[in-house]
């Protein structure tokens, strides 16, 4: 996302970090290796798998466990680089946490982009006793990155990770605050050169890398690639258009989807509930630990059934917890029909293009928790995305007369799509929509390692940024607006209508800056001033300073409030200072909003996340 800055020239490695909701992966490219035999590897990450046992795995489960002081013997948590690590992350954190959930932090990434909470405050694990020390989503992210850094430095002591060119991937749907917080966690590690890259773009980079020069035969000008990325916790959608510049094919990311908290974990849970219901009918009452064990067993059984069409049923066995194994082992089975009904029909039903997610009003009593997608049907979210982005490529390829944008190619990524049945179902649903609109069928772009593609793509991106290969152009996937009260006479009982002033236009590139010159704001010194903040993924033509007095509800999405605080420095409290507002997209790939006083050279940063006081 950012251009190559001179200071990354000396880096030996380009490192890609996939900071996933359920797993982290680190991949690297040796920038000193020659193009023909590019050294491009995934780092095996040493981690505790059970007390005292250290194994290397390509994936580091994104779980954090804060053990009680009398829970583990001193020698049992040692890592190759530290005899007494502060926290436990990885496989053992997940295993210990399955039995002691009050000490387990999971899904930190989903919390990182949940604007309903103060993400700097320490509240994870959620709802656990006061005695358990809490961490913020940023700190949890810091611990995962810090484990990766230690693993790297242990392996390559001569080239510490913080000095390398590091690319961290984020969901395309991350809002500016979530991007900023990810960058903040990375900066606290001490990384010198970091860049954020959207995961679907990383997957596409990985595909291009795997295809070599062949990719130009598979894509041509006018193609629109739909990237569908269904991971453990989230579903991420992006559209990339293939255009031409000076006779060369270029790629441009033209749209990204909403943040959908729906993934493989939901599917395993759905199967476990189904099995639980089946056993309850048989008169067996299950304990919570058994349900958890069933969820675990369902994951393996589901994979076996979805991968191999010859198997019709997979036994699910849950051994007793005690040392007596015989007579107390629970046995049932998961059948092909059940998986088809629950997963394929439940999560991937064949719907029409007009069929969009059902949004129920959440009850006011909703517990504090993650805003999981209410509609579990992925194709409905997909249909809504394609319809919403109907004109995403109009500026490039001319007006689209249909109700939805028609992808010509599909790239799948994420563990869920390893199952051929699911991949086929999504592709056939999209193709049915295309057929109805008399459009040619979309082709499938194959050849990705769906678990490692994002990290691989990210490290390859660092290599591409050195001018060795095609780059995907992106910029902001959203235009950003600040809410301004309109100057109209007050009407009793009616809030003054709000107008939206465009601060940062759609597609604004990294390293560029825009200032609103036609309007000034008065900021009170020493007092936080809050602004309403909006984003739009569809208004592509608004320029800096455009003032909207009317918009369709689906056009602008209200984001969490932003806040400016002017420090006292040389001013008296309460003084009103006229400022201009400016937006900048940093080289890292984050959005920065600033207030510039009329006089002077100072710049004050506007916080994208309003902290609880």
Partner 1 sequence: MNIDLTAMPTSLDAGHFGLAILALLFFILFITKKSAPKETLTSQTAKPDTEVPAPKAPAKLKDANPDAALQLLTLLQQEARLVDFLNEDLGDYADADIGAAARVVHEGGQKVLKEYFTLAPVREEEEESRITLAEGFNATEVRLTGNVVGQAPFTGTLIHRGWKATQVKLPKLAEGHDAKVIAAAEVEL
When asked if residue 303 is in the footprint of partner 1 (CB under 8 A), the reply is: no
Least Cα distance to 113 among 371, 476, 362, 367 occurs for 371
Residues of this chain, 50-69, that bind partner 1 according to CB under 8 A? 50-55
Residue 323: other Cβ atoms inside 10 A: 5
Q: Which residue, 96 or 183, is less far from partner 1 as judged by CB?
A: 96
Among 36, 246, 326, 494, binds partner 1 (CB under 8 A): 326
When asked if residue 73 is in the footprint of partner 1 (CB under 8 A), the reply is: yes
Q: Which residue, 320 or 512, is less far from partner 1 as judged by CB?
A: 320
Among 160, 190, 315, 497, binds partner 1 (CB under 8 A): 315
Least Cα distance to 306 among 275, 264, 262 occurs for 264
When asked if residue 495 is in the footprint of partner 1 (CB under 8 A), the reply is: no
When asked if residue 311 is in the footprint of partner 1 (CB under 8 A), the reply is: no
Q: At what angle do helices 199-211 and 453-464 cross, to 10 degrees?
A: 80
DSSP string, 169-210: EE-TT--HHHHHHHHHHHHHHT-SEEEEEEHHHHHHHHHHHH
- Residues 62, 23: contact at Cβ < 8 Å? yes
Q: Identify the burial level of 612 via C-beta atoms within 10 angstroms of its C-beta, where 0-12 means exposed, 13-18 middle and 19 or more buried.
A: exposed
Residue 194: other Cβ atoms inside 10 A: 22
| Shortest spacing between CB 269 and partner 1, in angstroms | 21
- Residues 236, 18: contact at Cβ < 8 Å? no
- Residues 604, 592: contact at Cβ < 8 Å? no
When asked if residue 396 is in the footprint of partner 1 (CB under 8 A), the reply is: no
Q: Which residue, 333 or 520, is less far from partner 1 as judged by CB?
A: 333
Contacting range for partner 1; rule: CB under 8 A; set: 59-67, 322-330, 529-537, 589-597: 322-330
Residues of this chain, 328-347, that bind partner 1 according to CB under 8 A? 329, 331
Least Cα distance to 218 among 242, 183, 253 occurs for 242
| Shortest spacing between CB 55 and partner 1, in angstroms | 4
Contacting range for partner 1; rule: CB under 8 A; set: 319-327, 361-369, 405-413, 423-431: 319-327
When asked if residue 74 is in the footprint of partner 1 (CB under 8 A), the reply is: yes
Could you give the CA distance from residue 143 to residue 104 in angstroms, rounded to a whole number? 13
Q: Which residue, 268 or 510, is less far from partner 1 as judged by CB?
A: 268
When asked if residue 49 is in the footprint of partner 1 (CB under 8 A), the reply is: yes
For residues 82 to 111, the per-residue mask of contacts with partner 1, x marking binding by CB under 8 A and - elsewhere, is -----------------x------------
Q: Which residue, 242 or 297, is less far from partner 1 as judged by CB?
A: 297
Q: CA geometry: angle at 381 spanning 298 and 367, to 5°?
A: 65
| Shortest spacing between CB 83 and partner 1, in angstroms | 8
Among 4, 58, 78, 189, binds partner 1 (CB under 8 A): 78
Q: Which residue, 317 or 368, is less far from partner 1 as judged by CB?
A: 317
Q: Which residue, 328 or 374, is less far from partner 1 as judged by CB?
A: 328
Residue where the block lists tokens 């080289």: 587
Residue where the block lists tokens 């559209």: 239
When asked if residue 319 is in the footprint of partner 1 (CB under 8 A), the reply is: yes
Q: Quick one: which H or E segment has residue 462?
A: helix 453-464
Among 15, 77, 172, 197, binds partner 1 (CB under 8 A): 77
Residue 324: other Cβ atoms inside 10 A: 10
Q: What does the radius of gyration of the chain's CA atoms come to, in whole angstroms?
A: 25
Q: Which residues are at the interface with partner 1 (CB under 8 A)?
A: 46, 49-55, 73-78, 80, 99, 315, 317, 319, 321, 323-327, 329, 331
């Amino acid at each position: 996302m950012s251009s190559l800055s001179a200071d990354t020239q000396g880096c030996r490695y380009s490192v890609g970090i996939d900071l996933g909701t359920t797993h982290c992966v680190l991949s690297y490219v040796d920038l000193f290796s020659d193009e023909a035999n590019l050294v491009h590897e995934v780092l095996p990450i040493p981690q505790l798998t059970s007390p005292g046992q250290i194994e290397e795995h390509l994936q580091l489960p994104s779980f954090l466990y804060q053990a009680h002081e009398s829970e583990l013997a001193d020698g049992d948590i040692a890592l190759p680089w530290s005899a007494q690590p502060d926290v436990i992350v990885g496989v053992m954190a997940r295993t210990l946490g399955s039995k002691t959930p009050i000490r387990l932090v999971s899904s930190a990434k989903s919390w990182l982009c949940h604007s309903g909470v103060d993400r700097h405050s320490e509240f994870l694990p959620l709802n656990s006793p006061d005695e358990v020390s809490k961490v913020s989503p940023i700190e949890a992210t810091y611990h995962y990155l810090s484990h990766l850094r230690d693993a790297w430095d242990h392996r390559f002591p001569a080239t510490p990770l913080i000095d390398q060119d590091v690319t961290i991937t984020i969901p395309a749907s991350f809002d500016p605050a979530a991007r900023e917080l990810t960058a903040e966690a990375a900066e606290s590690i001490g990384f010198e050169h970091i860049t954020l890259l959207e995961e679907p773009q990383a997957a596409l980079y990985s595909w291009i890398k795997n295809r070599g020069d062949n990719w130009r035969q598979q894509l041509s000008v006018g193609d629109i690639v739909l990237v569908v990325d269904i991971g453990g916790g989230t579903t991420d959608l992006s559209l990339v258009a293939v255009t031409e510049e000076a006779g060369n094919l270029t790629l441009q990311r033209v749209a990204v989807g909403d943040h959908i908290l729906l993934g493989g974990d939901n599917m395993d849970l759905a199967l476990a509930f189904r099995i639980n219901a089946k056993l309850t009918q048989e008169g067996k009452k299950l304990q919570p630990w058994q349900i958890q064990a069933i969820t675990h067993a369902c994951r393996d059984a589901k994979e076996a059934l979805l991968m191999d069409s010859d198997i019709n049923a997979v036994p699910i066995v849950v051994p007793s917890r005690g040392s007596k194994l015989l007579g107390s082992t629970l046995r049932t089975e998961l059948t092909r029909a059940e998986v088809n009904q629950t997963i394929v029909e439940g999560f991937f039903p064949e719907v029409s293009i007009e069929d969009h997610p059902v949004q129920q009003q959440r009850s006011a009593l909703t517990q504090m928790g993650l805003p999981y997608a209410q509609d579990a049907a992925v194709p409905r979210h997909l249909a809504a995305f394609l319809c919403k982005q109907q004109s995403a490529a109009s500026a490039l390829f001319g007006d689209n007369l249909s109700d939805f944008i028609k992808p010509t190619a599909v790239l799948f990524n994420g563990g869920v799509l390893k199952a051929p049945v699911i991949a086929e179902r999504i592709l056939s649903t999209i193709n049915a929509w295309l057929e109805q609109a008399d459009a040619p069928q979309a082709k499938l772009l194959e050849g990705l390692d769906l678990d490692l593609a994002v990290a691989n793509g990210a490290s390859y991106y660092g290599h591409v940024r050195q001018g060795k290969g095609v780059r995907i152009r992106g910029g902001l996937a959203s235009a950003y607006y600040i809410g301004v009260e309109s100057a109209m006479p007050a009407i009793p009982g009616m809030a003054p209508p709000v107008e939206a002033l465009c601060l940062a236009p759609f597609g604004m590139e990294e390293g560029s800056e825009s200032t609103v010159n036609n309007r000034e704001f008065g900021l009170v010194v020493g007092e936080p001033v809050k602004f309403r903040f909006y984003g739009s993924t569809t208004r592509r033509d608004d320029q800096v300073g455009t003032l909207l007095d009317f918009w369709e509800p689906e056009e602008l999405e209200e984001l969490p409030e932003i806040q400016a605080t002017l420090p006292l420095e040389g001013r008296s409290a309460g003084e009103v200072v006229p400022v201009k507002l400016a937006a900048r997209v940093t080289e890292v790939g984050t959005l920065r909003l600033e207030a510039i006083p009329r006089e002077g050279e100072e710049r004050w940063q506007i916080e994208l996340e309003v902290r609880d006081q």
